[in-house]
Amino acid sequence: MGRFKLTFLGLVEFGYNIYIESYQKLKNSRFIMSSEKIVTRAAVLWVDQEGIIHSLVNPGAEVKIDDMKEIIDAGYALVGQKKAPVLVDMREIRSSDRESREYTAGPEGEKVTTALAFLIKSKVGELIGNFFINFNNPRFPTKIFTAEDEALDWLRGYLNER
């Protein structure tokens, strides 16, 4: 597992350890938002310069329906209540329950998503992605990738479908 450091809003993350300078702020709100990133319980989201939403799922996350509602609401807030292509980096995910996948594939996910690319590196990610595509029947184009540059190239084709 790679180690990384991400610092903003007082959050410093190394692998699975998360330290928050202002824990109360996170505890009392659904998510923390800055002008650049939104932090939810299960993921960090931002929009790149091209207009693609990035959702980096926290290492070891077990995504449930409440987490997915927060993530979709955060994505919607980031793009000003428009649709955009979404890159979900779930290389370190542990699981995603059926309800969260159904919610994402349905009307709520559709209101923010023109296309969805899953970035994976494990059989767990591949299994979640395949379940989503084959059993949840998303209302938008969805594809699984192991290379981020390929995923972004594919998503660029959906930038003008808002």
- Domain regions of the chain by residue span: 35-156
Mean pLDDT (the chain) is 82
What was the pLDDT predicted at 35? 52
Q: Measured at the alpha carbon of residue 98, what is the angle toward residues 69 and 149, in degrees to the nearest 5?
A: 70
Read off the pLDDT of residues 5-53 as tens digits, 9 standing for 90 and up. 333 443 434 332 332 333 333 334 444 444 589 999 999 999 999 999 9
| Predicted confidence (pLDDT) at residue 91 exceeds the cutoff of 80 | yes
Q: Hunting for tokens 């938002």 — which residue is that?
A: 33
Report how far residue 22's alpha carbon sits from residue 107's, in angstroms, rounded to the nearest whole number: 34
Backbone φ and ψ of 23, nearest 5°: -60, -40
pLDDT number for residue 132:
95
pLDDT at 147: 96
The C-alpha atoms of residue 119 and residue 21 are separated, in whole angstroms, by 30
pLDDT band at 106 (very low <50, low <70, confident <90, very high): very high
- pLDDT in the model for residue 63: 96
CATH class assigned to 35-156: alpha beta
Residue 21 · residue 29 · CB < 8 Å: no
Q: What share of the chain is helix, strand, coil (3-state, %, to 5)?
A: 35, 30, 40
